[in-house]
Chain A
Amino acid sequence: DGGITQSPKYLFRKEGQNVTLSCEQNLNHDAMYWYRQDPGQGLRLIYYSQIVNDFQKGDIAEGYSVSREKKESFPLTVTSAQKNPTAFYLCASTGAVDNEQFFGPGTRLTVL
């Protein structure tokens, strides 16, 4: 089955720890995205990558980092510098044909 997978589904972090969220796609898409979703708010873009070994900051990149070493993978690290990291994190990818965006199932991060 083609699609986007995210792991883990739930993640708990102590304050001061860095954590890495996984995102993998087998859709052969070039572009990948990370969003954050908070209750009552729309999705906000954290980082995006249009091609391997390249990525750009989105609207709320502070406290986050990414890498794009492989086309299929776009991991997101939530660092201790992110002051309010508890949220639902969504990964997405876009094909080149019509730019339709597809999403993974999400990771819910909770800071204890």
Chain B
Amino acid sequence: KQEVTQIPAALSVPEGENLVLNCSFTDSAIYNLQWFRQDPGKGLTSLLLIQSSQREQTSGRLNASLDKSSGRSTLYIAASQPGDSATYLCAVEEYNTDKLIFGTGTRLQVFP
């Protein structure tokens, strides 16, 4: 059974730092991996989608990488800002399922 783990569970950093959030999954037979952001009491916002054939995706200050063989993905946030404070979730879609399996998230706080 696929399991998705995110470490750390919480992270607090000063503004301007570059930081890395980690996501690991137990079964490498995935169709894609998606990173989301969730603000308190809100829905999820899609940040980046990496197909299984891709190694990374970039959007602005965000860069997500995927290493299927090791079952890992990282979300890199450059020059962090207080507005980046949120919970970040990763999710994998397995082949022929059309379903996402979510990690429990990393709660990020960026202080001025």
Contact = CB atoms under 8 A, between A and B. Distances in A.
B34 interface: yes
B99 A58 contact: yes
A40 interface: yes
B89 to A, nearest CB: 7
Given A42-B89, A42-B105, A98-B51, A106 B98 contact: no
Interface of chain B, main secondary structure? strand
Interface in A1-29: 4, 6
Contact of B32 (A41, A48, A99): A99
A100 B89 contact: no
Interface stretch (B42-50, B59-67, B78-86): B42-50
A53 B71 CA distance: 36
Interface of B: 4, 31-32, 34, 36, 41-46, 49, 51, 89, 91, 93, 98-100, 102-105
Contact of B41 (A4, A41, A101, A108): A108
A interface, how many residues as a size bin?
Answer: 20 to 34
Interface of A: 4, 6, 31, 33, 40-43, 45, 48, 50, 58, 88, 90, 92, 94, 98-106, 108
A45 B4 CA distance: 14
Contacts of B103: 42
Nearest to B93: A99
Given A50-B98, A100-B34, A101-B91, 13 more contacts: A33-B100, A42-B104, A42-B105, A45-B100, A88-B41, A98-B49, A99-B93, A99-B98, A100-B49, A103-B36, A103-B43, A103-B45, A103-B46
Nearest to A4: B43
B41 A99 contact: no
